[in-house]
Copies of this chain bind each other. A is one copy, B any other.
Amino acid sequence: MQDRQKQILIVGLGLIGGSLALALQGFENYLVVGGVRSQVTYDKAVERGVARRVTFDPAAELPGADVVILCQDPQGIMDFLRDNRDKFRPGSLVMDVCGIKTAIMEAAKCLPETVDFIGCHPMAGKEVSGIDNAEATLFRNTHFIITPGEHSTPEHLDLLRRMATHCQFRDVVPTTPQRHDEMIAYTSQLMHVIALSVCDSEELFSCMGFEGGSFRDCTRVAALDVPLWTQLFSLNAPALSHVVEQLEERLRAYRLAIQSGDRAELSAMLEHAAGRKKQRNFEQARGDDVHVAF
């Protein structure tokens, strides 16, 4: 008797979905199917051989999909879950790759109990989007954050870890949706708000020739996908507002110290923050770089 061909369905072949499809090629005995919306993406996916098969109707593939990875934008993921909740294969593992988790985990509650939803957030990206920029090595050495559901099975968690290893993720970091969203507000969304705010300056164009590595690094992510990030910011408004306000307060404290002319006070502030950064670099180099509250 021949085993049924196992399938991974990836819905959305943009930067992350396309990269996952490429990275998962050759994973055990799974075949990767890709779902797209536009003809342009379809043509590129077929030309690059991103998936074994590409379809405009991913919902029709759900009954045969052992693993589903939802790679649309947040609203697209929530809509897809709601519209297709009865079509998922019983016993299947469903994942997403969205940058916020509380709203997604809430939306996934519409799924029947026979379907195991595990929220996922690969901490990888680029400042450019779309299948053109997808690559199999995008996830190499990055963190793969997951928020398992209440009833996630050890078998599915193990399958997810094997997929993560195949994609060359550095580690799998389990956490809760709330903690994820608080942390991401600080480590990722705040960096994007900073980059945008710096680029709003009237000096952005006149300063050409005066920038070094720190300016390029800090502003890199400002060239973002506007509809996506409008959703991500809006769906995490309380946590994001909190960290932005904290940053405003700390910037103000540095400004007052600089304005005061009190070099001893300013030096003490720099010593404190620089010392923390050096300590963190040290811990990271030592490998103590995942403190997880699960």
Contact = CB atoms under 8 A, between A and B. Distances in A.
Contact of A277 (B184, B199, B229): B199
A133 B203 CA distance: 32
Interface in A250-294: 250-252, 254-255, 258-259, 261, 263, 266-267, 269-274, 276-278, 280-281, 283-284, 288-293
A138 B209 CA distance: 17
B201 A266 contact: no
A248 B237 contact: no
- Chain A interface mostly helix, strand, loop or mixed? helix
Interface string A145-169: 1000000000000000000000000
Given A201-B186, A245-B255, A247-B251, A143 B209 contact: yes
A194 B199 CA distance: 14
A214 interface: yes
A213 B125 contact: yes
Interface stretch (A4-12, A54-62, A90-98, A216-224): A216-224
Interface in A172-205: 173, 175, 180, 182-184, 186-188, 190-201, 203-205
Contact of A289 (B204, B208, B261, B272): B208
A102 interface: no
Interface size bucket, A side? 35 or more
Contacts of A290: 208-209
Contacts of A212: 123-125, 142-143, 187-188
Given A196-B273, A222-B276, 7 more contacts: A125-B214, A143-B210, A145-B210, A183-B210, A222-B274, A226-B274, A244-B252
13 contacts: A184-B210, A188-B211, A191-B215, A199-B277, A200-B272, A205-B283, A209-B291, A219-B277, A222-B276, A223-B281, A230-B263, A231-B263, A234-B266
